A and B are shown apart, each in its own frame.
Chain A
Amino acid sequence: MLLYILKRLVYVTPVAFGVSVVCFLLVHLAPGDPLSAVLPADATQATIDEMRAAYGFDKPLPVQYLIWLWHVLHGDLGVSIATGRPVLGEVSRAVVNSLILASVATVIGFTFGTLFGFVAGYHRNSIADRAASALSVFGVSVPHYWLGMVLVIVFSATLGWLPPTGAGPDGSGNWRPDFDHLRYLILPAVTMSVIPTGIIARTVRALVADILAQDFVEALRAKGMDERGVFKHVVRNAAPTALAIMGLQLGYLLGGSILVETVFAWPGTGFLLNAAIFQRDLPLLQGSILVLAMFFVVLNLLVDVMQTALDPRIERA
């Protein structure tokens, strides 16, 4: 198993390299000069050139990449053009916020998704199944920025139960695990959880229905296992796939939903990306995309390792 993990880690290296190249180039494909956002419109050519040299935009692309990569490997993602603060600090603060939001949303999504999925899978074509299926179709297809706005209208504007935007009462971007901050988390987390709930519910329903139809379930009953004993086997068989889906969903959510975070002004990566794009804050954009992509790579690795640990049929070599 340890050997397998080491091997997977080695495989990750070229992927990470590719990701860094794409991240670096992606930003250069976008139109617009990053400096135009910070320089006054009437800046002289001399000032512009000076700034270009200061930020290193005057060197050839491969050299820019190597310099950037060197800094990245030393934990230096550059300085945000817009704020003048180190990108790493900005990105990690946003990642922590997004991580909190994404984890809570994933936990909600996984809980309700598996619950609906199991009920539907166990009682196929029953009313509960139809209700769960309808809910998951709704979850997957409703635009969640719209749902976010509806929730804000209902629970903040009309009922006044929960704050509509921000991450905490002091307006700062630092989330803390106390009751006041928790209230800010509820609406965005619920909004974000709707898609994973639907996807996980549909996957688990199909999984459970498929497992229950297999011969070994009848064989389990034939050797005297009761429903609880059978249920244990169903869960164990559904777990690898369900966890893989959950991991991928967490990855998507970590990237922050730009729309949901914008609706709720949640200071996470989506919010940060949105700001970076509009301000043409090139280092910030590069840095946050890179960090998010790496998160995805690591998460995929974790999912693979977990699946291998759970399903003996996957080759460990």
Chain B
Amino acid sequence: MSDAISPSEPAVVLRDLRVAFGKVQVVDGVDLTVERGQALALIGESGSGKSVTLRAILRLFAEGRSRIEGEIRAAGRDVRALSRRQLADFRGGDVSMIFQEPLLAFDPVYTVGQQITEAIHRHETISRDEARKRALALFERVRIPSPDRRLDNYPHEMSGGMRQRAMIALALACRPQVLLADEPTTALDATVQIQVLLLLRELQRDLGLSIVIVTHDLGAAVEVADRIAVMYAGKIVETGTAHQVVLNPHHPYTIGLLRSRAEGALAKGSRLQTIPGSPPDLANRPPGCPFAPRCFLAEERCRREMPPVAEIGPGHRVACWRTEEASAAYRAGPTPVRAVEAVPA
């Protein structure tokens, strides 16, 4: 569908991406690179701007109500320079997206098969039979049982896991190079989550897809992603390979996220560690590091000046003044993170 990407060009490049809705700067200078065939997980809590960053790659915002600055390149295209027509061809053709709640992301009054063939017809001149055959092959590819019958199902007639598989089939209908996934497993049962993640991983390998997956679930991120980028208040605070970020975190926020997982069996009566406070008001950003008010290592400088991005290992970058102290604190054990009064057992 698109011009071939030169082999050296990454699948997605964001440079100093800024997205604002009115006065609210939701994404505040994001730099991100996803190499071809790679999966990157964007993690962070609600309101960190991860979903907005993802949508910016497709420019999925109402014109006029949003302001996008910086550079967005995906599948070899300069996304901000695309005309309306080119953008429509680009969406679903070069880069496609799957959504958090597949029941809501399908039009309820058309069959799933119709919605897949609609996308195929939108991007390619192809006969009805051919489109139907392609849809059937996609359903087989994502391993939906009795695919021929399932194509004629309405979304509400499928189970949650099957719907998400169908959504993935829809996203792959026009052979995109990049797949964006917005919390694709959040609405699913725990047992189904892992199946969907494994399917994504498999498709990425087999089809050479590049994937950007947004999630707040570290477990899901580790499952599919080669690299992880941690977002906080519209900025990327730490990025590296999944191993680097999970095993050797250098940003206090990443450490907080890792610590606040209920990993293994919590002994009865022990407290789940949490990060105190709540994310800053994005319309009214304080100077300095946005995480400083909640940080167990924050000092005077953190509240005054935004820390620069430091490369602390090959491809492992952290935006923090006190990476050494953070890393040391993490290695020393669970005590340093201020445990807020959790619900007593």
Binding site for B on A (CB under 8 A): 214-216, 218-226, 229, 233, 236-237, 240, 310-313
> Is B92 an interface position by the 8 A CB rule?
yes
If the complex has contacts A219-B106, A222-B97, A224-B93, are A313 and B156 also in contact, measured as CB distance less than 8 A? yes
Tell whether B232 is near chain A: CB-to-CB under 8 Å. Answer: no
User: What DSSP secondary structure best describes chain A's contact surface?
Assistant: helix
Contact of B104 among A215, A224, A233, A311 (CB under 8 A): A215
Q: Digit string of B105-126 for contact with A (CB within 8 Å is 1, else 0)? A: 1111111000000110011000
Q: Closest chain A residue to B93 by CB distance?
A: A224
- Beyond contacts A222-B96, A226-B84: 4 other A-B pairs, Cβ-Cβ < 8 A, are A215-B105, A229-B122, A311-B109, A313-B156
CA distance A236 to B93 in the complex (A): 25
Q: Is B35 an interface residue (CB 8 A)?
A: no
Q: Taking the nearest CB of chain A, how far is it from the CB of B122, in angstroms?
A: 5
Chain A residues near B123: list those with CB within 8 A.
224
B60 within 8 A of A: yes
Which of chain A's residues have a CB closer than 8 A to the CB of B85?
A: 226
Query: For B109, what are the chain A residues with a Cβ–Cβ distance below 8 Å?
Result: 236-237, 240, 310-313
Complex formed: what's the CA distance from A236 to B105 in Å?
16
Q: How far is the CA of A42 from the CA of B88 in the complex (A)?
A: 86
**A221, B105: Cβ atoms closer than 8 Å:** no
Residue in chain A with minimal CB distance to B84: A226
Check if A223 sits within 8 Å of B91, measured CB to CB.
yes
Given A215-B104, A216-B105, A219-B99, decide whether A224 and B91 contact each other with a Cβ distance below 8 A. yes
Chain A min CB distance to B209 (Å): 16
How far, in whole Å, are A218 and B170 apart by their CA atoms in the complex? 14
Check A218–B156 contact: CB distance below 8 A: no
Q: For the complex, give the distance between the alpha carbons of A225 and B117 in Å.
A: 12
The distance in angstroms between the C-alpha atoms of A237 and B108, with both chains bound, is 8
List 28 A-B residue pairs with CB atoms under 8 Å apart, sorted by A's residue number: A215-B105, A216-B107, A216-B108, A218-B99, A218-B105, A221-B91, A222-B60, A222-B91, A223-B91, A223-B118, A223-B122, A224-B89, A224-B90, A224-B119, A224-B122, A225-B118, A226-B84, A226-B88, A229-B122, A233-B107, A236-B110, A237-B108, A237-B109, A240-B109, A311-B108, A312-B108, A312-B156, A313-B154
B217 part of interface (Cβ distance < 8 Å): no
Chain B residue contacts of A237, Cβ below 8 A: 107-109
Determine the residue in chain A with the shortest Cβ distance to B101.
Answer: A215
Q: How far is the CB of A62 from chain B (nearest CB, A)?
A: 49
Chain B residues closer than 8 Å to A233, beta-carbon distance: 107, 110
State how many angstroms separate the Cβ of A269 from the closest Cβ of chain B.
36
A311–B154 Cα distance when bound, in Å, is 10
Closest 4 CB pairs of A and B: A224-B92, A223-B92, A215-B104, A219-B105
Q: How far is the CB of A268 from chain B (nearest CB, A)?
A: 37
Q: Is B196 an interface residue (CB 8 A)?
A: no
The answer to whether B58 has its CB under 8 Å from any CB of chain A is yes
Q: Which A residues are in CB contact (< 8 Å) with B174?
A: 224
Which residues of B in the span 273-307 have a Cβ within 8 Å of any Cβ on A?
Answer: none
Please give, as numbers and ranges, the residues of chain A lying within 8 Å of B118 by CB-CB distance: 223, 225, 229
The residue on B at minimum CB distance from A240 is: B109
Residue A214 contacts which of B93, B104, B154 (CB distance < 8 angstroms)? B104
Residue of B nearest to A234 (CB): B107
A222 contacts B58, C-beta separation under 8 Å = yes
**Cβ of A223: which chain B residues have Cβ within 8 Å of it?**
91-92, 96-97, 118-119, 122, 170-171, 173
- Complex Cα distance, B122 from A303, in Å, reads 33
Q: How far is the CB of A260 from chain B (nearest CB, A)?
A: 36
Q: Mark B162-185, 1 if CB is under 8 A from A, else 0.
A: 000000001101100000000000
Instruction: State the CA gap A91–B110 with chains docked (Å).
Output: 43
Residues of B contacting A220 in the complex (Cβ-Cβ under 8 angstroms): 107
Per the bound structure, the CA–CA distance linking A26 and B174 in Å amounts to 65
Residue of A218, A229, A240 contacting most chain B CB atoms (<10 Å): A218
How far apart are the CA atoms of A311 and B110 in the complex, in Å? 9
Identify which of residues 133-175 in chain B touch chain A, using a CB-to-CB cut-off of 8 Å: 154, 156, 170-171, 173-174
A222 and B154 contact, Cβ closer than 8 Å, known pairs A216-B107, A236-B110: no
Q: Is the CB of B60 within 8 A of A218?
A: yes
Which residues in B have their C-beta under 8 angstroms from that of A216?
Answer: 104-108
Among B96, B99, B111, B122, contact of A215 (Cβ-Cβ < 8 Å): B99
Residue of A nearest to B87 (CB): A224
Taking CB as reference atom, which chain A residue is nearest B95? A222
- Closest Cβ of chain B: how far from A64's Cβ, in Å? 50
Cα of A218 to Cα of B171 in the assembled complex, Å: 13
Most chain-B Cβ atoms within 10 A of its Cβ — which of A222, A240, A310?
A222
Give Cα distance in the complex from A311 to B111, angstroms.
Answer: 11
Q: A164 to B85: give the CA distance in the assembly, Å.
A: 53
Determine the residue in chain A with the shortest Cβ distance to B85.
Answer: A226
Rounded to whole Å, the gap between the CB of A311 and the closest CB of chain B is 6
User: Which one of B106, B107, B109, B118 has the greatest number of beta carbons of chain A within 10 Å?
Assistant: B107
List the A residue with the shortest CB-CB distance to B180. Answer: A222
- Contacting residues, chain B, for A219 (C-beta < 8 A): 97, 99, 105-106
Nearest Cβ on chain A to B290's Cβ, whole angstroms: 28
Minimum C-beta distance from A196 to chain B (A): 24
- Bound CA–CA A223/B104 (angstroms): 15
- Measured between C-beta atoms, what is the minimum distance from B95 to chain A in Å? 9
Q: How far is the CA of A204 from the CA of B110 in the complex (A)?
A: 20
Roughly how many angstroms separate A310 CA and B85 CA in the complex, as a whole number?
31
Residue of A nearest to B173 (CB): A223
Name the CB-closest residue of B to A226: B88
